Structure 1
Amino acid sequence: MKKKILILAAVMLISLLAACAKPTAQPQPVNNEKNEKNNEEAIDVLVVGGGGAGMVAGITAAENGSKVIIVEKMPMLGGNTIISATGITASDTDLHKQAGIPFTVEDHIKKTMETGKNLPDEKLVRILAESSNDAYQWLVSLGLKYKLDEKEPWWIIPVEGHYGRQLFDAYNKKVEELGDKIEIRLDTKATELIVEGDKVVGAKVVGKDGKEIIIKANAVVMATGGFGNAPELIGEYNPKYAGAHNIMSTAGPTGEGFKMAVAVGAGTRDMEHHQMRPLATPGYWIRETVINEEGLGGILVNASAVRFTNETLKPLELVPEILKQQDRIAYVVFDSEVAATKNGTSAIKNGKMIEAATIEELAEKLGLDAAKLRETVDKYNEGTDEFGRSTMGKVTVGPFYGVKVAPSSHYTMAGITINENAQVTNEAGEPIPGLYAAGEVVGGLYGAGRIAGNNTLDDIVFGKIAGKNASAK
């Protein structure tokens, strides 16, 4: 009997040791008892945000040997990157050499600084430009195919297809290749960064089930996007844009990531600067030439069917003028001569403009007073302007076109500060240990103006820098 007891004890001991030694593919909690009590997990790198910058940062961190979790509050990945239909800005690529059309790193830096009114951080801009060819080559290595826009040689655009969709097809494929090194959690919202001492060590997140989870991490990368869907935050920093619409943004970028970073001491810069589009329609912005081109321009009217401003004002000056009107909207109206121009044709196709044989019919279709719009157009066609417009056109040749427009945020150039290592810095310029950032949540790359295409470039350049440095043990 004693022998049987000893044998049984030995078997139990061996089983216990085997269970303790059993490997697992899941991130291990810091403490099992604490995990049961507080639902706590541990990971190498936590990335907050599943847009372009977040995906690049997560992929890079995983490629550098880290276990990664990407949390995305929306039910799908993509952020504003996935709706980008344009391309990437890059310099000194093989496409430039093959076309014999130079666009050098120095050209890139100069154009970025001048567009931003010399407000951007030139050190960051230089990193952006000098890394642009590597970023382009990386996209090519993922199987994407590009061509040069020879009229605007900073533009590198897809040979065919939708740019943002192609990016995410490639990123998702890369995530699959990385297997259990990277985990993506959708419908999972970060609510607060966790700080121990002076170091960011993770975040509190809430899943789809409403339960709060604490994810501890060696490093956190903030990639939560800008303020496109947070008009109150835009208005807080620039009252001229208070009440702006959000029809050019996806639902995700509402500023929580920015607020979380500021709450732990992150510095900010260029907070009054936002790229606004005065003539925005859902998912598209109508180029201002349709209302200001000399000899051709159409007009802007408000809900009362009357003109209210000089349509040739600069775009950022038009924004507050429209926001003063009823419902903070206006209507673009032009004739078939404007429709025949490149931007007119694009506005009709992409801005879903309404066509009518007469001004009166157009007014009715737009829900405006027909007699008042007729009076407004006739007065404009007489060639005198109470608003000081010096370049007058005419709205005389049918068919006529019109659409409702709403000033909307297009890109957040303001944001938290980072250094050359993508570390988030405080107001004194000192890095906050454990916290990195990339993408539209970052300020300092654009100042007062942005070259289109630099934004998807900075997702890659600083996403890679953030992911690599966050992985460093």
Structure 2
Amino acid sequence: MACSFPTSQAIVVGGGLGGMSAANTVVENGGRVVLLDKSSFCGGNSTKATSGINGAGTKTQKAKGIPDNADIFTQDTLKGGAKKPELAKLLCVNSAADVDWLVEKFNLDLSLVARLGGHSQPRTHRGKERFPGMTITYALIQMLEKVAEKTDLARIVTKAKVFKLICENSVCVGCVYEKGGQEFKEFGPVILASGGFGADFTNDSLLAKYRPDLLHLPTTNGEHCTGDGIKMGEAIGATSIDLEWVQVHPTGLVKPDDADAKIKFLAAEALRGVGGIILNAEGKRFCNELGRRDYVTGEMWKSKPPFRLCLNKAASDEIIWHCKHYTGRGVMKSYASGEDLAKDMGVALSVIEQTHEEHYQAAKKTETDPDGGSWPAYPSGKSWDEASGKTGSGKKFYHNIIPGSAVKSEPFYVAIITPVIHYCMGGLLIDTDSAVVGPKNKAIPGLYAAGEVAGGVHGNNRLGGNSLLDCVVFGRVAGQAAAKYMLGADVKAVDLMELTGGLTGQVQSSKLAGGSYEDKMNSAPAATANGTGGGGGGITMSDVAKHNSKSDCWVVVDGQVLDVTSFLSEHPGGELAILTFAGKDATEEFNMIHPPDVIGKYAPDAVIGAVGAPGAAAPAAAAKAGGAPARKDKGGKLANHHAWGHLDGDLQPNWRVDLEDNPGALLINVKSYFNATWFLLLSVLYEVCATIFTAKNIKISNDRLGLTRSAILLILFIVIHAVGNLHVFKGPDDFNGYGYFYVRLYWTGFGLPANIVEEYILLSVLLHVFVGLKRTWDMKLALVNSQGINVLNLAISGLMLLTFMTIHLFQFRFGDTDQFGPYYVRPPPYLINFWGILSLNLFWTQDTSIEPVGVRDIYALEFQIFKNPLWSMFYIFSVVIFMIHACLGWKKVTPVLGIPRGHIAKVEMIGYAIMIVMGLVYISFPLYVMATSPFSGYEDSIQAPGRVE
């Protein structure tokens, strides 16, 4: 169908592997392409993939004698959860050619092959670089950058948030995007490769709509995964499918000193593929580690946490770069022996020995009689493994096993793991041309999708290694279809290497295109004993160590000191990936996954000096003072052009900054704090309403939803209670009237000597205490041996507060006021004195037509208690404990409130301020009482004679 807009270029939305595969393929077919990515740097979640890419019948497999083909792969994929045979077949049939395309066209090493969960053959390819997601994606990024720099066939625009598709006569003809506060349009067929929605925890997210039960879980997704492409497609009539199928991955890595972090690193499935086993808190296996992800996760829900992924020496040696990487990030720990592991876990060594012996015997029996066994096996046949066989998914494949007798002296690499939101199977329905399907089950002309934004490929569960493959296969299919749609008979084959002259210089070989760099691992100048480095001056390691917070973060890479503070929120791997090394040397871990030129190309402005280099402190100081540091910009012109946020593909001199981060003439960015406060208010209101109106039948689970929501409700109550208690400063009429206000609500209770507010608060307290203690028992106690008593800070302070609250209730709520006699007030007729709002006389009136009522004299009771210095000190001490507990809890609550990521840090500070102010308000009460004498009241004449001596 013809349209009035030019279609001389294809528009790719998203800079991950799906987008890069599509963009390079468009160029390979003789077309032009513009790639729009909303992040500062291309790569997306694809760069995080650490297990590999599947391929059935590849040249690598044939060289290794692996008897695999597309039919076997298709059957595994359908059995694994795929529901659309035509899409599953396309994925599997194209897998060999597309994996070989990566190897041959981009000079990649994918020579290692492993078997992941749900696969009947070893078919997951990775290279000696060990991190295939970064390796593959970066190679394609480099190629497209070369095309953009040497020809007019490609443009790359970063920080470009596409928010609308342009349609004419039911044909997609382009899109609208926002960059630097301005709107721009691009015209041509659109390929959506914008990812899923696994990081959108806002109240109106697709996650909240289709899987609200998962909102409490952490995620492995980058913050860009907010379902933008799906929402834009639906807005023009595209069909979505399987949005309720969100894959929860069983092996999110827990950082013990930040166990509740919302963003988790992912333990590559390859760790289980090489022989890693999963143990529960009791040191026992409970599932088939090589089963489907949904199966393993389901078995974890049924067992007792914390769960540990354990690799013996042979297993860890096979995948040692992963283990070193995770250990460096603080999410994996090495043990010199199984005895040390058992001690750290708090279980008997004999239990872990027995677990390994049973696993060993099952493997040996499988070797001699693979079709025997007493238990149903996965994917078929019988299994000798009782631990997993009881679950109906018995283990059939074993690798790097050890007998129980070897455990005591065996070295282990071990990580604590937890289920995490990982992948959204659902998205926009596509056909076998990767075209998005619209009304009447017909393709929408000019609109394609590839990668996680596309639905229908994986059904209700995705097999490990199929995500990178999905991106490449459907990215290429979409690129070819878009080129054909644009060019018709003018489609022609273009050799990318010939077009660009190849990937020249250091980046030509795959070893330097991504992954680990063994030859450069120890190339950073070594620091001397006093931390000054080899240069004897400049920026010392002790200086770097001072910059170790989110608001001031320095790291060292290959002897260079980088100030990465402003980059934290933009890092594709999340803030935690950098903050782990704040104030430290990150050379080894950085070089494991990044190419050697990445700093020079994408973050040259972050370099502020060298460790120990004479005179290096001067540019650092100049940079901090706001001056331009005297250093050469070493990045390529295109990379720097985009890094500085230019508004289009032309090399214009102007550049812009994000207004949200730039207060202009103001020292404080008032707008950003206002926005943060607004999101905080919305989140609190949502959580409170959800607590009241969405509660279902009581269910005992191991998530922290009950803990979080009860905490929000209690914080709201504490704020309101503090404001109410301020009436003590106005005297007995106001304070006792305030107390009587709640008495007048007793009719709202359920026949109890309390009102519904008190009952609800009591239930919230009980829920908070119960869930908190249960999570501490299940998840924290086991960490004390390895992490120290500090992991129990919340539990200890919470128990202290529970003790205080019990005493406080008996002193005030149930305290004896009969000794003072009733205090008489004239209560307003409508609960609140609306005519006294301006004078703040809300709970009493001087209208003599209203009969005085005798109420509890809590004013006199407060003076009696707080005149005792011991009780006052106990109260003040407890309030300080409350402030500590509240601030510790607030840090854990804030990331799960659905607040936009960019505002979380400010919301944290606002929360801390609220807790501290509330604490000071409560402390003011005993201080006021000790410093003053009680006031007799404004209407002393209506009190009973001799009421108080």
TM-score by length of 1: 0.71
Does the CA-based 8 Å contact 2:278-2:307 persist in structure 1?
A: no
After TM superposition, give the deviation of residue 343 of structure 1 in Å: 7.5
Aligned match for 1:332, one of 292, 297, 307: 307
When Rg is computed on C-alpha atoms for both structures, the one with the higher figure is 2
CA–CA distance in structure 2, aligned partners of residues 402 and 144 of structure 1:
30
Corresponding residue number in structure 1 for 2:70 = 105
In structure 1, the residue matched to 2:35 is 70
Q: Does 2:281 match 1:284?
A: no
Deviation at 1:297, TM superposition (A): 6.2
Secondary structure of 1:85's aligned partner: coil
* Alignment root-mean-square deviation, CA: 4.0
Whole-Å separation in 2 of the counterparts to 1:447 and 1:289: 25
Aligned positions of 1:159-238 closer than 5 A: 159-175=128-144, 176-177=146-147, 179-207=151-179, 209-215=180-186, 217-231=187-201, 232-238=205-211
Aligned to 1:136: 99
Give the corresponding residue for 1:4: none
Deviations 1:45-71 (A, max 9, x none): 111101111111112223333322110
The residue number in structure 2 matching 1:261 is: 233
The whole-number CA distance in structure 1 between the counterparts of 2:156 and 2:281 is 46
| Number of aligned residue pairs | 394
Structure 1 position 449, deviation (Å): 2.3
Q: Within 2, Cα distance between the matches of 1:73 and 1:95?
A: 36
Of 347-356 and 431-440, the range deviating more from structure 2: 347-356
Greater helix proportion: 2
With over 3 angstroms needed to count, the CA separation of the structure-2 counterparts of 1:256 and 1:109, relative to structure 1, is same
Cα distance in 2 for partners of 1:93, 1:203 equals 38
* Whole-angstrom distance in 2 between the partners of 1:55 and 1:205: 19
1:299 corresponds in structure 2 to 280
For 1:233 and 1:144, locate their aligned partners in 2 and report how far apart those are by CA, in whole Å.
Answer: 36
SS state of the match for residue 306, structure 2? strand
Q: CA deviation at 1:77?
A: 0.5
**Long gaps (5+) in structure 2:** 116-120, 254-263, 289-294, 355-385, 389-403, 487-949
Residue deviations 1:3-27, cap 9 Å, x none?
A: xxxxxxxxxxxxxxxxxxxxxxxxx
TM-score, normalisation: structure 2: 0.37
SS of alignment partner, residue 194 of structure 1: strand
**1:413 CA displacement:** 1.3
SS of residue matched to 1:45: strand
Counterpart residue type for residue 187 of structure 1: K
What is the CA–CA distance in structure 1 between the aligned matches of 2:112 and 2:267, rounded to whole Å? 23
Is 1:219–1:434's contact at 8 Å kept on the other side of the alignment?
yes
Partners of 2:208 and 2:302 in 1: CA distance: 15
For residue 155 of structure 2, what is the amino acid of its counterpart?
E
Maintained 8 Å contact 1:71/1:186: yes
- Do the aligned partners of 1:299 and 1:332 also contact (CA within 8 Å) in 2? yes
In 2, Cα distance between equivalents of 1:227 and 1:58:
22
Higher RCO (C-alpha under 8 Å, 6+ residues apart): 1
Could you say what secondary structure the match of 1:468 adopts?
helix
Once residues 255 and 410 of structure 1 are traced to their aligned partners in structure 2, the CA distance between those partners, rounded to angstroms, is 14
Greater mean deviation of Cα atoms: 49-58 or 350-359: 350-359
Q: How far apart, CA to CA, are the structure 2 residues paired with 1:405 and 1:284? A: 9
Q: Answer whether contact 1:72 1:188 (CA < 8 A) is retained.
A: yes
Give the deviation of 1:42 after TM superposition. 7.8
Aligned counterpart, 2:471: 459
Aligned residue among 451, 469, 473 for 2:481: 469
Q: What is the CA–CA distance in structure 2 between the aligned matches of 1:108 and 1:159, rounded to whole Å?
A: 24
In 1, the alpha carbon distance for the partners of 2:114 and 2:43 equals 29
Structure 1 residues 333 and 123, CA, compared in 2 at 3 Å: closer, same or farther? closer
Partner of residue 14, structure 1:
none
- 2-structure distance, mates of 1:454, 1:289: 17
1:238 & 1:163 partners in 2: Cα distance? 30
**Is the CA contact 1:203–1:214 (under 8 Å) kept in the aligned structure 2?**
yes
Give the partner amino acid of 1:147. Answer: S
Amino acid at match of 2:185: I
Query: What is the deviation of 1:466?
Result: 0.9
1:147 aligns with 2:111: yes
How far apart in 2 are the matches of 1:177 and 1:288? 34
Aligned partners of 2:72, 2:414: CA distance in 1, in Å? 39
Quick one: which amino acid aligns to residue 443 of structure 1?
Answer: G
Partner of 1:94: 59
Q: Spell out, residue by residue over 1:320-348, the C-alpha distance to the aligned partner (whole angstroms, 9 max, x if none).
A: 679xx9xxxx63369xx976684899897
The 3-state SS of whatever aligns with 2:11 is strand
Classify the secondary structure of the residue corresponding to 1:101: coil
CA distance in 1, matches of 2:114, 2:341: 39
Q: Which of residues 209, 221, 235 in structure 2 aligns to 1:249?
A: 221
Contact 1:226 1:253 in 2 (8 A): yes
Q: In the alignment, which residue of structure 1 is the partner of 2:892?
A: none
Q: Does 1:446 align with 2:458?
A: yes
Given the alignment of the two structures, is residue 424 of structure 1 paired with residue 436 of structure 2, yes or no? yes
8 Å Cα contact 2:106-2:139 kept in structure 1: yes
TM superposition shift of 1:288: 12
From the superposition, tell whether residues 462 and 402 of structure 1 become closer, same or farther in structure 2 (CA, over 3 Å). Answer: closer
1:167 is matched by which residue type in structure 2?
Answer: I
Instruction: Give structure 1 stretches of 5+ with no counterpart.
Output: 1-29, 32-40, 302-306, 364-373, 384-389
One-letter amino acid matched to 1:421? D
Alignment partners' CA distance in 1, 2:315 and 2:412: 16
Residue type matched to 1:128 in 2?
L
- Give the C-alpha shift of residue 125 in structure 1: 1.5
Q: Cα 1:235–1:348, aligned 2, differ >3 Å: closer, same or farther?
A: farther
CA offset digits 1:208-240 (Å, max 9, x no partner):
x1111122x231110001123124533432344
Question: Per the alignment, do residues 316 and 238 of structure 1 end up closer, same or farther by CA in structure 2, a change over 3 Å counting?
Answer: farther
CA distance, structure 2, for counterparts of residue 100 and residue 391 of structure 1: 32
The AA in structure 1 aligned to 2:172 is V
Question: Which structure shows the bigger proportion of residues in strand conformation?
Answer: 1
Residues 355/100 of structure 1: CA separation in 2 closer, same or farther (3 Å cut): closer
Change (3 A) 1:90 1:360: closer
Out of 120, 127, 138, the residue aligned to residue 83 of structure 2 is 120
- The SS at the match of 2:444 is strand
Counterparts of 2:475 and 2:311 in 1: how far apart (Å)? 42
Alpha-carbon spacing, 1:359–1:158, altered in 2? closer, same or farther (3 Å): closer
Q: CA deviation at 1:109?
A: 0.8
Deviations 1:269-328 (A, max 9, x none): 2222222123412322387999xx9xx964349xxxxx9xx9659433257679xx9xxx
Q: Is the 8 A contact 2:42 2:141 kept in 1?
A: no
Do the aligned partners of 1:332 and 1:402 also contact (CA within 8 Å) in 2? no
Q: Which residue of 2 aligns with 1:37?
A: none
Equivalent residue letter for 2:85: E
1:114 Cα deviation from its structure 2 partner:
0.8
Tell me how far 1:121 sits from its aligned partner: 1.2
Identity %: 27
After TM superposition, give the deviation of residue 184 of structure 1 in Å. Answer: 0.4
Measure how far apart 1:402 and its partner are.
7.8
Q: Secondary structure at the match of 2:222?
A: coil
Could you list the per-position Cα deviations for residues 403-457 of structure 1 after superposition, in whole angstroms to 9, with x for gaps in the alignment? 6644312222111100111110025321112111111111111112222222212
Indicate if the aligned counterparts of 2:41 and 2:158 stay in contact, CA closer than 8 A: yes
Could you tell me how far apart the structure 1 residues matched to 2:315 and 2:308 are?
Answer: 16
**Could you say what secondary structure the match of 2:44 adopts?**
coil
SS of the residue aligned with 2:188?
strand
Q: 1:343 to 1:262 in 2, by over 3 A?
A: farther
Query: C-alpha separation between the residues in 2 aligned to 1:48 and 1:94?
Result: 32
Asked whether the 8 Å contact 2:230–2:240 carries over to 1, the reply is no
Question: Is the Cα contact below 8 Å between 2:83 and 2:458 reproduced in 1?
Answer: yes
Is the alpha carbon distance of 1:438 and 1:468 closer, same or farther for their aligned partners in structure 2, counting shifts above 3 Å?
same
Structure 1, 217-226 or 231-240: larger mean CA deviation: 231-240
- Distance, in Å, in 1 between the alignment partners of 2:468 and 2:412 is 37
